[in-house]
Amino acid sequence: MDKSFAYILVLIQFSSIGWLVQSAYPFNLNIIGLILSTFAIVLVAWSLWVMRISKIRILPMPHLEAQLITSGPYRLLRHPMYTAVLLFTAGISITYFQWYNLFIWLLLLLVLLIKLHWEERMLSQRFPQYQDYQQHSYKLIPFIY
C-alpha cells in the first residue's frame, strides 16, 4: 500500500470520528456511553504517557527512530489507541443511536482494521521480536481479539 492510500484512510478515520462526535452535541451521555467514553479517555491518556506524544503517528507507518513499546497498555493490547477511539465513538453511537451513526462507526472500524493490518505488517518487518509480541498480546479487545 502506498502513502496516498494511508492519507485516505486517515482522512476517513478522522472524518468518521468528527461526524460521530458532532452528532453527540450537546454531550449528555447515558451510563453506558459515559462508561465507554471515560474508559476510552483513560486508555488514550495512558497510551500517550507510555508512548510519548512525540512518537505518535497517524499514518500506519512507523517512524525511522521508532522503538517497539510493550509496556503499559501495550503489554495487553497492540493498538490501545484504536481501541480507545472505537470505545469512545461506540459510547457516542449508543447514546445517540441513529442508523447512519452505526454505519459511520462501522466504516471507522473497517478503516482502523485496514490500518491495523498494514501497521502490523510494517512492524513485523521492522522489529524481529514483533511476532513474539503478537503471540503474547491482543490486537484490540483483551482476551478476545
- Least Cα distance to 41 among 62, 21, 26, 59 occurs for 21
Element (H, E) at 44: helix 31-51
Other C-beta atoms lying within 10 Å of the C-beta of residue 48: 16
Domain assignments of the chain as residue spans, ordered by start: 21-135
C-alpha to C-alpha distance for 92 and 112, rounded to whole angstroms: 17
Which set of grid coordinates corresponds to residue 124?
513485523
Q: Which residue has the higher pLDDT, 92 or 28?
A: 92
The CA distance from 119 to 17, in Å, is 20
pLDDT digits (tens, 9 = 90+) for 111-137: 999 999 998 998 898 899 999 999 999
Cβ pair 28, 113 in contact under 8 A: no
Question: Which has the closest alpha carbon to 98: 19, 38, 32?
Answer: 19
Measured CA to CA in angstroms, residue 83 lies from 44, 68, 70 at distances of 9, 18, 16
pLDDT tier at 1, thresholds 50, 70, 90: low
First to last CA, the chain: 24
pTM higher than 0.85: no
As a whole number of Å, the CA-based R_g of the chain is 15
When pLDDT is averaged across residues 1-28 and rounded to a whole number, the result is 74
